[in-house]
Amino acid sequence: MDVAIVGAGFTGAVLANQLAHAGHTATVFEARDHIAGNCHTARDAETGVMCHAYGPHIFHTDDERTWAFVNRFGRFMPYVNRVKAITGGRVFTLPINLLTINQFFGKTFRPEEAKAYIASLSDTSIAEPVSFEEQALRFVGRELYEAFFRGYTRKQWGIDPSELPASILKRLPVRFNYDDNYFNHKYQGMPEEGYTALVERVLAVDGVTVHLSTPFDPSRKGEFNHVFFSGPIDAWFDYSLGRLGYRTLDFEPFRHDGDYQGNAVINYCDEDVPYTRITEHKHFSPWESHERTLCFREFSRLCGEDDIPYYPIRLAREKTQLERYIALAERETGVTFAGRLGTYRYLDMDVTIKEALETADLFLACAQRGEPMPPFVVRPLG
């Protein structure tokens, strides 16, 4: 049975791989001139450094199946993301940990003392934090919130943290030990040859054909037995209910001799610095050595019609709009919406892979039973 898969990012590649292995023919349509979506990596011609073209992507997961899956397609090198943050003219380690707390407050606390101290600063009148700001005030108190989160978040999201959901801050842990690993997951690593080489191998299965620079017109749906759409859900419906809002990123690349900043990621938390972070790509591949270095200054802004969407905004207005698109999508037969753009969610790579594996499982089970595929495997709201 012939399926069309729209998008050659992780979602599309994993679906194509799984369906082709089960005997289907999968035609992948990718609008851009490369695979791997926003995870795309490419060597910088001038420095030889492996560049994360759409910003830093560090692979981390707790899911055994996802980890086993990606490891079939390339070697993952040990990599731990240790982010530094500059605020008020000083450098600290993130996520907020015992060193951050001790340096910030000029203390030498042990874990229990730091816990008690932060508890004394936290706003306990907020029982159930709803906004990002409430979540921060409840868990770290005003001083740390203002130093590390308020300015960065206003730059990143273009609105005040009091209007953002607490879920965005919940991505970051607060630790009362000296562990400065940015992620809590059991597995973490970086593909030795970059994400694009990895995705290329995911797609290298008999029965998979990839068309680059080929947008898919929904009117072609009837040519296929099923379509998996990992493009923006509102694009499928020709934006008939308006455009869902995204943040996009601009990167200002620069090159330097040697080592520019000594770390892969340094966040700039002060609001008067216009960029959110500087990434130095060679530190994402610490097993390589290069004489020169490539860095990106990263700026966030509202995504325009011709920009690349990165972060779904998902405020009340967008959620209402999404609800209406979901209603349309649920009436649409023969199409499954998947992935970050297809479901309009802030997803890490591992979650998109896990969901793509599960979507393929469900599709194959449905096909075997002769049943239609339900419109959503994961309902984006509710």
Cβ(148)–Cβ(96) under 8 Å? yes
Asked about 255 being catalytic, the answer comes back as no
Q: Which of 156, 188, 285, 336 binds ligand UDP (CB under 6 A)?
A: 156
Segment 28-87, which members bind ligand UDP (CB under 6 A)? 85
Should residue 140 be labelled a site residue for ligand UDP when binding is judged by CB under 6 A?
no
Q: Which residues contact 238 (CB under 8 A, 6 or more apart)?
A: 218
Q: Which residues contact 369 (CB under 8 A, 6 or more apart)?
A: none
Provide, rounded to whole angstroms, the least separation between the CB of residue 178 and ligand UDP: 18
Provide, rounded to whole angstroms, the least separation between the CB of residue 146 and ligand UDP: 11
Should residue 148 be labelled a site residue for ligand UDP when binding is judged by CB under 6 A?
yes
Asked about 220 being catalytic, the answer comes back as no
Q: What's the rounded Cα separation, in Å, for the pair 261 and 110?
A: 30
Should residue 169 be labelled a site residue for ligand UDP when binding is judged by CB under 6 A?
yes
CA proximity to 53, closest of 351, 341, 303, 281: 281
Of 193, 292, 346, 358, catalytic: 346
Of 17 and 87, CB closest to ligand UDP: 87
CA proximity to 213, closest of 41, 15, 8: 8
Structure tokens at 139: 């868990």
Asked about 346 being catalytic, the answer comes back as yes
Cβ(339)–Cβ(9) under 8 Å? yes
Q: Which residues contact 210 (CB under 8 A, 6 or more apart)?
A: 8, 16, 28, 30, 35, 203
Should residue 107 be labelled a site residue for ligand UDP when binding is judged by CB under 6 A?
no
Of 89 and 222, CB closest to ligand UDP: 89
Q: Which of 70, 269, 295, 356 binds ligand UDP (CB under 6 A)?
A: 269
Should residue 188 be labelled a site residue for ligand UDP when binding is judged by CB under 6 A?
no
Give the HSE-up count for residue 94: Cα atoms under 13 Å, Cβ half-sphere: 24
Q: Which of 171, 211, 255, 301 binds ligand UDP (CB under 6 A)?
A: 171
Asked about 247 being catalytic, the answer comes back as yes
Q: What's the rounded Cα separation, in Å, for the pair 285 and 298?
A: 19
Should residue 166 be labelled a site residue for ligand UDP when binding is judged by CB under 6 A?
no
Asked about 277 being catalytic, the answer comes back as yes
Should residue 296 be labelled a site residue for ligand UDP when binding is judged by CB under 6 A?
no
Helices 195-203, 10-21: inter-axial angle, 10-degree rounding: 30
Of 27 and 153, CB closest to ligand UDP: 153
CA proximity to 13, closest of 85, 80, 74: 74
Q: Binding mask 222-261 vs ligand UDP (x if CB under 6 A, - otherwise)?
A: ----------------------------------------
Asked about 298 being catalytic, the answer comes back as yes
Of 92 and 363, CB closest to ligand UDP: 92
# binding residues, ligand UDP (CB under 6 A): 13
Of 116 and 159, CB closest to ligand UDP: 159
Q: What's the rounded Cα separation, in Å, for the pair 131 and 139?
A: 12
Segment 87-106, which members bind ligand UDP (CB under 6 A)? 94
CA proximity to 303, closest of 243, 361, 260, 258: 243
CA 284 to each of CA 68, 104, 140, 189, 268: distance values in angstroms, whole numbers, following the listed order: 21, 27, 29, 10, 19
Residues that bind ligand UDP (CB under 6 A): 85, 94, 148-149, 152-153, 156, 168-169, 171-172, 267, 269
Supply the residues annotated as catalytic: 171, 175, 247, 277, 298, 346, 348
